[in-house]
Amino acid sequence: MAKKGSPKLNIAIIHPDLGIGGAERLIVDAAVELASHGHKVHVFTAHHGKNRCFEETISGGFDKRLKENVEYLEELRSLAEREGVSSQVSVRNMLHQRRKSDREAVSEDDCLRAISKLKVLGNGFDVISVGKRKLVRSVPTELNKDHNEILELAQAQGFVIVDEVERRLSWTTGCAIDAFDTLLDEGLAMIDDGHKDGIRRYWFPCASSISTPGGADT
């Protein structure tokens, strides 16, 4: 809770669908309360139906620049698709591009702190450490420990094979394939059957630097 006389903040709340669920209730409460303390609250959402929303989101006391927000999320998604990265986006670059006119650059630290504050409001935004890199995860599905372990393994070469997962993580083939299937379905992994050794590789766009030439493995 802000003390009297402390500086007023610009607060962004990002939430995919501003309906009438529990998470939405929390967000609206937080937004209204923060606004009543004099902070400037902006709620970004991709969907808001006037017939199916909390009353405060219409009468509010906080700004809800809807059309702009939808475009912003669309921009994020199409940027992710163009870069070949499914769901993880370089948030910092995105923010930098959006705020071209701002004098201050956004540091990685700022990003991390902002995202950790967003985490409290739930709904899929999180920062996961994968090896040396920090990725923003914006998928609604919770990635479990198993999936994260695969992502860790993928850091080395950008891809993983079933055999490796079984060996290094001591899993059964069934478990490994299940985990891979989930990651494929989430759009986080792609299959590669083209290597001359005939072994299927699972590539993780988020774990490799696509910008470096090659991506070939020996």
Chain contacts with another protein (rule: CB under 8 A): 81, 84, 86, 159, 184-185, 187, 190-196, 201, 203, 205, 210-211, 213-216
Spell out the long-range contacts of 111-118 with Cβ–Cβ below 8 A and sequence spacing 24 or more.
111/136, 114/12, 115/91, 118/13, 118/14
Q: Are 208 and 158 in contact (CB under 8 A)?
A: yes
Q: Which is nearer to another protein, 37 or 77 (CB)?
A: 77
Least gap, CB of 83 to another protein (angstroms): 8
In this structure, are residues 137 and 108 in contact, taking their beta carbons and an 8 Å threshold? no
Dist CA 147 CA 152 (whole Å):
9
Q: Give 21 or 215: the residue with its C-beta nearer to another protein.
A: 215
Which CB, 80 or 115, lies closer to another protein?
80
Closest CA to 94 of 80, 113, 115: 80
CB of 148 to another protein, least distance (A): 20
Q: How far is the CB of 157 from another protein (least distance, A)?
A: 11
How many CB atoms sit inside 10 A of residue 140's CB? 12
Shorter beta-carbon distance to another protein: residue 118 or 160: 160
**Using an 8 Å Cβ cutoff, are 120 and 114 in contact?**
no
Shortest reach from residue 100's CB to another protein, in Å? 24
**Up-side HSE of residue 196: CA atoms within 13 Å toward CB?**
3
Residue 88 CB, nearest distance to another protein (Å)?
15
- What would you report as the CA-atom Rg of the chain, rounded to the nearest whole angstrom? 20
Q: What is the nearest approach in angstroms of another protein to the Cβ of residue 13?
A: 27
Return the number of the residue (22 or 194) whose C-beta is nearest another protein. Answer: 194
